[in-house]
Amino acid sequence: MRGGSLPTHERRWASDTIPAKTILSSTTSPGTDSNSAEEFVEVTLDLQDDDTIILRSVEPATVISVDDGADTPASASRSPNIKRTSSNILRQFSQELKAEAVAKAKQFSQELKAELRKFSWGHGHATQAITGFDSALAARALRKQRAQLDRTRSGAQKALRGLRFISNNKANAWEEVENNFNKLAKDGFLFRSDFAQCIGMKDSKEFALEMFDALSRRRRLKVEKISKDELYEYWSQITDQSFDSRLQIFFDMVDKNEDGRITEAEVKEIIMLSASANKLSRLKEQAEEYAALIMEELDPERLGYIELWQLETLLLQKDTYLSYSQALSYTSQALSQNLQGLRKKSRIRRMSTKLLYYLEENWKRIWVVSLWIMIMIGLFTWKFFQYKQKNAFKVMGYCLLTAKGAGETLKFNMALVLLPVCRNTITWLRSTKLGLFVPFDDNINFHKTIAAAIVIGVILHAGNHLACDFPRLIKSSTNNYELLIHDFGSHKPTYVDLVKGPEGITGILMVICMTIAFILATKWFRRNLIKLPKPFDRITGFNAFWYSHHLFVIVYILLIVHGVLLYLVHMWYLKTTWMYLAVPVLLYAGERTLRFLRSGFYAVRLLKVAIYPGGVLTLQMSKPPQFRYKSGQYMFVQCPAVSPFEWHPFSITSAPGDDYLSVHIRQLGDWTQELRRLFSKVCEPPVAGKSGLLRADETTKKSLPKLLIDGPYGAPAQDYRKYDVLLLVGLGIGATPFISILKDLLNNIVKMEEQAVSNSCQVMNSSRTSDLSIGSNDSTTPNRVSPKRKKTLKTTNAYFYWVTREQGSFDWFKGVMNEVAELDQRGVIEMHNYLTSVYEEGDARSALITMVQALNHAKNGVDIVSGTRVRTHFARPKWKKVLSKLSSKHCNARIGVFYCGAPVLAKELSKLCYEFNQKGSTKFEFHKEHF
């Protein structure tokens, strides 16, 4: 409403505009009879800079005579800058408020008396109940005064920056909303059903509709469509920067009957609405329990309702319920290291610093790749000049030299490409001194790099033969061809003769096989990123990659034949292809043979099977006596019932100290989908008293499928023990390699506690013995040497960050997280769960969930989202803030950052580690898991 008189029963709230230069009264007395003091009310309003007013309170007031147009001194209890007037608008406004307040009070009084008559046993009991009710009202009034005082002292405007309805705070946000209105409006009106999409809350449609209804109720309207001017008015209120305004909107969404009170049933309804907006289906099932929890906290007087100020109090006190682990205060050293990074440096100094850091981080990769490139250059140059001395050069020219030089590098790379996938050899080598100089963690990346070099070599070798030197040979003169009679025969061959010869046929077949294998190994095909129509969809996925890669068996056979039947080389000892391939092929063949034999030797028996939400299959199996592994390593799993040939790598989630092996397998591809379907058939439905998961164990009536395992194999995370502090970051199922590390750390913590107790007892016993021996033995007797202490774990702290999109994911490792939280009394392990489906803290859609979460964890020690003792954060972590806290808390420490998940975050974390390493003494070393 803009200007004019106010309609009957219409209330004014923040963001409602009023005419300019309106003077507000803090003690307006609407009435004509000055002797009727009980009929007056005191209205407190705040005038904002944008010509909006905020209703603060409506209280009984004494009679004060006011002359029209004359200013009177303000009450001593009010701010001196608030003026009073007898304007007709505010007279009418206060009369309406007074009439509404009196009507509501009478209605409540009548309802209260009826309830007391209904449940009382007599006049004495009713009188006692009324007295108790008065006491409860008095107690609540006292709490309200204290809450208002606390708000003033705590700087509420700074503390209450949350409760946003719109995440998009861009300057042109209204322009986007206006454009949406123009697209969605019909006949100049926006319908209620399109309101959510129009304001950018398409994913929270139910929440947006409730907000629409609350804003409409403010104007005593129940509409199904609004104009653009009304939409702008709604938008102004939704995006109002005043916390009080946003709190009032939120309160009105719950208070549907507009009585200024929220009952337990209304709290339950808004909890279910918030759970729906944040995709928390389980929260809906417990909405009644959590509504009772809020009422218990905010309504200790048991009046059955809560008011606006109580909701505000809960928001103010939210941080007192939370017990997030905070980083230690910035020490002078930490502060100085951060300031050091802020000092301006010259351009040359910055470039030299970056270069030194790059060399420090990548020196292992640099020298290995440099050596590899130098070897290829040497082989190419050697073969280039060798053939330049031959007669064939006079006929075929430099095309032949380039083809032969590229062919020599092809021999080398075809041999070398097998070494990075000899996993058993690499796992053994990484534990030797060679692991200090060779980056074995990058074996798969190096394998891909060599494959790229092979592609270039094939193009140069085959391309120069087919497009350059073969045509030159055919077109050569008779005199020039006489130089090659010993190599090609007396009859000059045609182009077809050269192509269909043994060397040409083997070469073409190799190119075809390698092209198929290379294309299907790319991420677009291997990860099903390309959707092809049936039946061509079978050439995508891991199965296609797996089987196509075995074409290299044919390629290596053809390569040996190709290297033996050469046109220009006739002596057997000069045909060096088999020499390049002999050792790598034998080594790789030995590894595959070992895997075949070991899979039968490592016979495993399934102990437990469970299928969790999110398509995750957990397999717990017996551990073979000879199977020794480290936390962070992985193993291959084969299920003959799914495929007798396919082996798939999975991180081991059990700790080395456990008497079993376990893996968690998420349904991501065709093989894992079939595996889950197979185990679903043998799993049994849950019995009474257990969770609603499909389970199976040794007592299951149906026989469990057979499993074969092979491993363990080395991974970057297995070296976690060499770092002072660990930062473990897992996305979704990427948390699996770190669960084993957490278990191992926990087992070490328990052992260290037991060792400390044992040492303490030994010290006490030795001190008693020494006290007894002082009087009987000579003082010159040498003291006994204390027993040698066991070497302690170098890692002092570990921080585990698990980011997932689904609430059900927390069930995967619920037992581990509860065990760590219970046994880690010294706080060595700090765990943080992040649920990205919930709107970040401060958003109105998650505000009530945050309150319930804080209350429940403070009272019961259980997080309502994860169901564990580890609290769940909302939205995504602010990684820069995380690393900043770690660098300040652990000065001069060497922090190992281990990550498993999507490549996008890997780049961000790697970049942040680089930035923080240049700022100070805390060093971050980033490692990403590769399979």
Q: What is the pLDDT of residues 193-209, one digit of tens each?
A: 888 888 888 777 888 88
Consecutive H or E run containing 338: helix 332-342
CB atoms within 10 A of CB 751: 13
Two structure tokens written together for 47 = 């005038």
Model confidence pLDDT, tens digit, residues 230-287: 888 888 888 877 777 777 887 888 777 777 888 888 888 888 888 887 778 778 777 8
Number of H helices and number of E strands within the chain?
34, 17
Comparing 33-42, 161-170, 614-623, the range with the smallest average pLDDT is: 33-42
Model confidence pLDDT, tens digit, residues 769-796: 544 444 444 433 343 434 444 445 577 8
Strands 606-612 and 648-651: unpaired
pLDDT of residue 451: 93
Q: In what order do the strands lie in the sheet with 660-666?
A: 660-666, 616-622, 606-612, 694-697
Residue 467 belongs to some domain of the structure: yes
Q: What is the average pLDDT score of the chain?
A: 75
Model confidence pLDDT, tens digit, residues 858-873: 777 788 888 888 888 8
How many structural domains comprise the chain? 4
pLDDT of residue 368: 93
Burial (CB < 10 A; 0-12, 13-18, 19+), residue 324, is exposed
Has residue 820 got a pLDDT over 60?
yes
Q: Which pLDDT band holds residue 22 (cuts at 50, 70, 90)?
A: very low
pLDDT of residue 647: 85
**Higher per-residue confidence, 15 vs 831:** 831
Has residue 509 got a pLDDT over 90?
yes
Q: Which pLDDT band holds residue 931 (cuts at 50, 70, 90)?
A: low
Average pLDDT in the 439-451 region? 89
Q: Which pLDDT band holds residue 556 (cuts at 50, 70, 90)?
A: very high
For the ranges 225-234, 377-386, 814-823, the maximum mean pLDDT occurs at 377-386
Which of 737, 697, 702, 740 shows the shortest CA–CA distance to 605?
Answer: 697
Has residue 378 got a pLDDT over 90?
yes
Average pLDDT in the 805-824 region? 82
CA dist 631 and 717 (Å) reads 7
Helix, strand, coil % in the chain, rounded to nearest 5? 55, 10, 35
| Same domain, residue pair 535 and 623 | no
- Spatial neighbors of 280 by CB under 8 A, at least 6 apart, are 807, 837, 838, 849, 865
State the CATH number of the domain containing residue 180.
1.10.238.10
Strands 708-713 and 634-638: antiparallel
Within 13 A of 830's CA, how many CA atoms are on the CB side?
Answer: 15
**Higher per-residue confidence, 529 vs 872:** 872
Has residue 467 got a pLDDT over 60?
yes
Query: Tokens 């913590």 identify what position?
Result: 749
Query: Last residue of a domain, which of 204, 232, 254?
Result: 254
Which of 620, 599, 634 shows the shortest CA–CA distance to 679?
Answer: 620
| Alpha-carbon torsion, ordered 627, 629, 633, 636, to 10 deg | 0
Q: Which pLDDT band holds residue 459 (cuts at 50, 70, 90)?
A: very high
| Same domain, residue pair 619 and 496 | no
pLDDT of residue 458: 93
CA dist 831 and 539 (Å) reads 41
Has residue 42 got a pLDDT over 50?
yes
Query: Last residue of a domain, which of 683, 713, 743?
Result: 713
Has residue 316 got a pLDDT over 50?
yes
Has residue 381 got a pLDDT over 70?
yes
**Higher per-residue confidence, 732 vs 103:** 732
Comparing 129-133, 825-829, 845-849, 901-905, the range with the smallest average pLDDT is: 129-133
CA dist 287 and 274 (Å) reads 10
pLDDT of residue 146: 67
pLDDT of residue 8: 37
At 651, is the secondary structure helix, strand, or coil? strand
Contact call for residues 806 and 613 (beta carbons, < 8 A)? yes
Q: Which pLDDT band holds residue 413 (cuts at 50, 70, 90)?
A: very high
Residues forming a β-bridge with 928: 899
Residue 33 belongs to some domain of the structure: no
Has residue 218 got a pLDDT over 50?
yes
CA dist 91 and 68 (Å) reads 11
Q: Which pLDDT band holds residue 412 (cuts at 50, 70, 90)?
A: very high
Residue 549 belongs to some domain of the structure: yes
Residue 57 belongs to some domain of the structure: no
Model confidence pLDDT, tens digit, residues 165-189: 776 556 677 888 888 888 888 888 8
* Percent with pLDDT over 90 in the chain: 10
CA dist 468 and 209 (Å) reads 72
- Spatial neighbors of 617 by CB under 8 A, at least 6 apart, are 609, 610, 611, 664, 665, 666, 667, 672, 675, 676, 679
Which of 586, 592, 750, 566 shows the shortest CA–CA distance to 658?
Answer: 750
Query: Last residue of a domain, which of 254, 275, 300?
Result: 254
Q: Which pLDDT band holds residue 744 (cuts at 50, 70, 90)?
A: confident
pLDDT of residue 559: 92
Has residue 35 got a pLDDT over 50?
no
For the ranges 37-46, 597-606, 651-660, the maximum mean pLDDT occurs at 651-660
Consecutive H or E run containing 887: helix 879-889
- Helices 264-277 and 287-298, axial angle in degrees (round to 10): 130
Q: What is the pTM of this model?
A: 0.69
Residue 656 belongs to some domain of the structure: yes
**Higher per-residue confidence, 685 vs 372:** 372
Residue 516 belongs to some domain of the structure: yes
Enumerate long-range contacts of 147-155, CB under 8 Å, 24 or more apart: 147/309, 147/310, 147/312, 147/313, 147/316, 148/309, 150/313, 150/316, 151/312, 151/313, 151/316, 154/316
| Same domain, residue pair 201 and 179 | yes
pLDDT of residue 701: 67
| Same domain, residue pair 695 and 827 | no
State the CATH number of the domain containing residue 634.
2.40.30.10
Average pLDDT in the 508-526 region? 89
Has residue 73 got a pLDDT over 70?
no
Contact call for residues 874 and 804 (beta carbons, < 8 A)? no
What's 861-875 look like in SS3? CCCCCCCCCCCEEEC
Residue 531 belongs to some domain of the structure: yes
Query: Tokens 């970051």 identify what position?
Result: 729
Two structure tokens written together for 467 = 């497009």
| Same domain, residue pair 429 and 502 | yes
pLDDT of residue 504: 87
Domain encompassing residue 565 = 365-594
pLDDT of residue 144: 73
Two structure tokens written together for 316 = 């103010």
- Spatial neighbors of 583 by CB under 8 A, at least 6 apart, are 415
For the ranges 17-21, 548-552, 597-601, 622-626, the maximum mean pLDDT occurs at 548-552
Within 13 A of 929's CA, how many CA atoms are on the CB side?
Answer: 28
pLDDT of residue 584: 92
**Higher per-residue confidence, 688 vs 710:** 710
Has residue 86 got a pLDDT over 50?
no
| Same domain, residue pair 521 and 477 | yes
CA dist 61 and 68 (Å) reads 19
| Same domain, residue pair 508 and 415 | yes
| Same domain, residue pair 512 and 653 | no
**DSSP for 277-325?**
HTT-HHHHHTHHHHHHHHHHHH-TT--S-B-HHHHHHHHHTHHHH--PP
pLDDT of residue 930: 64
Model confidence pLDDT, tens digit, residues 616-646: 888 988 888 888 888 888 898 888 888 888 8
| Same domain, residue pair 440 and 468 | yes
Q: Which pLDDT band holds residue 557 (cuts at 50, 70, 90)?
A: very high
At 344, is the secondary structure helix, strand, or coil? coil
| Same domain, residue pair 673 and 810 | no
Strands 616-622 and 660-666: antiparallel
| Same domain, residue pair 400 and 468 | yes
pLDDT of residue 151: 59
| Same domain, residue pair 477 and 387 | yes
CA dist 132 and 778 (Å) reads 80
Instruction: Give, as one character, the DSSP assignment of residue 924.
Output: E
* Percent with pLDDT over 70 in the chain: 73
At 171, is the secondary structure helix, strand, or coil? coil
Model confidence pLDDT, tens digit, residues 585-609: 999 999 888 888 877 666 788 888 8
Residue 75 belongs to some domain of the structure: no
Q: Which pLDDT band holds residue 727 (cuts at 50, 70, 90)?
A: very high
